[in-house]
Structure 1
Amino acid sequence: MWVLVLMLVVALVSRWVVRVLLVGARLSAVVLIPVLVGV
């Protein structure tokens, strides 16, 4: 039974991590692109 709970937790955490990485990549792109264009 605890295996199912563990799998559910892993799925939720991985989804949250992917979302955070996507947001971070988007923010870094928004910051870096004007800097690169300015240089």
Structure 2
Amino acid sequence: MCLDKTINQSLRTLKYRTILSKFVKHYGFFKNILVKG
């Protein structure tokens, strides 16, 4: 039970990290366009 909870939590963290890194990438991309434009 405890192990399952830990695995679930780390999976959620991983998912959150992936979403965050994607957002950061897109943000940097848009920032570059704004700076160049």
Shorter-chain-normalised TM-score: which range?
Answer: 0.7 to 0.9
Tell me which structure has the larger Cα radius of gyration: 1
RMSD: 0.9
Cα distance in 2 for partners of 1:30, 1:23 equals 11
- Which runs of 4 or more aligned residues in structure 1 lie more than 6 Å from their structure 2 counterparts after TM superposition? none
Identity %: 11
CA drift of 1:37 comes to: 2.6
Structure 2 unmatched runs, 5+: none
Say whether 1:18 aligns with 2:13.
no
Cα distance in 2 for partners of 1:37, 1:9 equals 42
CA drift of 1:36 comes to: 1.7
Structure 1 unmatched runs, 5+: none
Query: Size of the alignment, in residue pairs?
Result: 37
